[in-house]
A and B are shown apart, each in its own frame.
Chain A
Amino acid sequence: MSRAILRDSLSVALTVGVYGIAFGAAAVEADLSVLQACVLSLLVFTGASQFAVVGVLDAGGSALSAITAASLLGVRNSFYGLRMAPILQVRGVKRFAAAQITIDESTAVSVAQEDKGLAAMRLGFWATGVGVYIFWNLFTLLGALGATALGDPAAWGLDAAVPAAFLGLLWPRLISQSARIVALISIFLCTFLIPFAAAGVPVIACALIPFIFAYVGDRK
């Protein structure tokens, strides 16, 4: 049983790790140093937020809008933590470690073991979280070094890699009708705001859409 879980964890960790190459390259394309790219992966360690920091700064946004956009994207990890806390039941240093690796993938693999019991869920969480942490950071370094070696990033098409990466992160979330509606409204609102608002602001403004969906829509 545990071998199958470890195999799942490893394949998820390797696949996600490869996204790290895209992130490392995107960070360098946005004029961050290799060290800055690596620190983001080591400390922030939640892909979409990292891409957001890099994307907003690259578009000329302020540090504050980069921090805000990234942090709004990180809110979902609180809900993953909430889901995982009763399963992991850890305290002290172990809870700090568990918190740092509470991300999309570790939560998803753990929840997928639900029918196999608590021990399997714990193994799935830790193996996937630690595995992704190792590969994500390793591949961030490789991507950043690679992009630095390439020189002019636009000539290699790296300017298009960032929006394509965001689309790749968005795609698996469009499984429900309501998710697709939220995404469409968001794209329209954001595109409308780009000419008028400072860089980064249109992204943050789009946080209003799920708020309206949750608090105004479907009153029961």
Chain B
Amino acid sequence: MIWTAIIATSLIAFMLKYLGQAVPARWLANARIQKFALHLPTALLAALVAVQTLGNQKGLVFDARSVAVLVAGVALFLKAPFPVVVILAALTSAGIHQL
């Protein structure tokens, strides 16, 4: 199942990249399509933050991840670079697991 996901995602990811290079510009030059494309990654990434922070096999949970993501948010707000943000989140979660 993992390999299916990997191969299919690889093919589609490449097709999407190639499509933009190959289609006539006017096909995607519509203002609504542009707006959709601008906000699509924002919506999906926000959803992924929610799922990865609060979701598990049983449903909604508040655990070490919630605290860690809060710490990551504060770090981002303070303009910390990406690796620092991820490491701080991991350290927070690891610390809570040790308690």
Secondary structure call for the B interface: helix
Size bin of chain A's contact surface: 35 or more
Contacts of A133 in B (CB 8 A): none
Contact with A along B45-88 (1 / 0, CB 8 A): 11111111111110110001100110011001000011101101
Q: Is residue B99 within 8 Å, beta carbon to beta carbon, of the partner chain?
A: no
Determine if A140 is an interface residue (Cβ-Cβ < 8 Å): no
Tell whether A108 is near chain B: CB-to-CB under 8 Å: no
Q: Is the CB of A211 within 8 A of B54?
A: no
The answer to whether A190 and B46 have CB atoms under 8 Å apart is yes
In the A-B complex, the 5 residue pairs with the closest CB atoms: A81-B20, A157-B94, A164-B89, A160-B68, A210-B39
Some 25 contacts from A to B, beta carbons below 8 A apart, are A39-B10, A48-B41, A63-B1, A71-B9, A73-B45, A75-B16, A78-B16, A81-B20, A82-B20, A100-B17, A155-B94, A157-B92, A157-B95, A160-B65, A160-B69, A160-B92, A163-B49, A167-B76, A170-B46, A179-B42, A183-B46, A187-B46, A194-B54, A205-B47, A210-B42
Q: Which residues of B contact A (CB under 8 A)?
A: 1-10, 12-14, 16-23, 25, 28, 32-57, 59-60, 64-65, 68-69, 72-73, 76, 81-83, 85-86, 88-95, 97-98
